[in-house]
Amino acid sequence: MPSQKPLIIIAGPCSIESEKQFLTIAKAVKKVGATHIRGGAFKPRTDPTAFQGHGHDVLHLLDKAKQLTKLPVVTELLDTEDIIEVAHHTDIIQIGTRNMHNTALLKKIAQRAPTKPILLKRGFAATKKELMGAIGYLHHHGHKGQIYVCERGIRTFADGEYSRYTLDVNFIAACKKDPNFKYPIIVDPSHPAGKAELVEALAYAGIAAGADGLIIEVSMSPFIEVAQSDKDQQITPQMLKRIMNNAEKIRRVVNYKS
């Protein structure tokens, strides 16, 4: 039987850059059918001089986006000091790929926000065992909320040549076939793609491998042209709409038991 559960679609800009930008995009992705809104306040950038996100100053905009759209919101947490505050403003805490191995952060989230749902992004060089270990840290320290696992691409020899990371669809299929793996898998096609034109194909590949949802970076004019992080990989709401429609069809056709 095809799975009856609709796909989880988390969409929004890479970073929350202004009230106008975030609320305009939030409204637009809601209109095309997204189920959750994403937006980063704290950004884990490679270059310390790059835009780091507006941090505490924009957390209240997550509340505004939620009020406006009536959709749950997702944002990344970087620092143990911000756990209570971030948990207060978000429905799901995102743990980024760089922090999957940060056991001190995982432990403190479990202790301070034990019921808060978590989107745990797989480390870009993490094995399945290491991912399960990170989940184990959360459980061991008392986390009881929903955990979503996110495949967002791993580092391979293809790095940078035609992709930013390599989307590991094999990992998605293997997790879904593992009877002991009981977590929904969300695919992030944006960060492995690195370019808007590749996002659609990677989204379909992830859903065809059995994923339960997508987290996609979405922006629109006039914000997309001046985005301060991940400018090239953000797609438009119209493109998101097409991806969602086709992804639902693919999910019905592949017909995995989950």
The residue ranges that bind Mn ion (CB under 5 A) are: 14, 230
- Please report whether residue 96 would count as binding ligand PEP according to CB under 6 A: yes
Q: How far, in whole angstroms, is CA 243 from its chain's centroid?
A: 16
- Please report whether residue 119 would count as binding ligand PEP according to CB under 6 A: no
**How many CB atoms are located within 10 Å of the residue 241 CB?**
16
Alpha carbon dihedral 106, 217, 149, 52, in 10-degree steps, equals -10
- Please report whether residue 66 would count as binding ligand PEP according to CB under 6 A: no
- Please report whether residue 121 would count as binding ligand PEP according to CB under 6 A: yes
> Shortest approach of ligand PEP to residue 14 CB, angstroms?
5
Q: Which of 13, 39, 40, 237 binds ligand PEP (CB under 6 A)?
A: 40
The site that binds ligand PEP (CB under 6 A) totals a number of residues, namely 9
- Please report whether residue 14 would count as binding ligand PEP according to CB under 6 A: yes
Which residues have a Cβ under 8 Å from the Cβ of 98 and sit 6 or more positions away?
44, 123
- Please report whether residue 113 would count as binding ligand PEP according to CB under 6 A: no
- Please report whether residue 97 would count as binding ligand PEP according to CB under 6 A: yes
CA distance 3 to 90: 28
- Cα three-residue angle 188-192-193, rounded to 5 degrees: 100
- Identify each DSSP E strand in the chain by its residue range: 8-12, 36-38, 73-76, 92-95, 118-121, 147-151, 185-187, 213-217
- Please report whether residue 152 would count as binding ligand PEP according to CB under 6 A: yes
> Shortest approach of ligand PEP to residue 97 CB, angstroms?
4
Binding residues for ligand PEP (CB under 6 A) = 14, 40, 44, 96-97, 121, 152, 188, 191
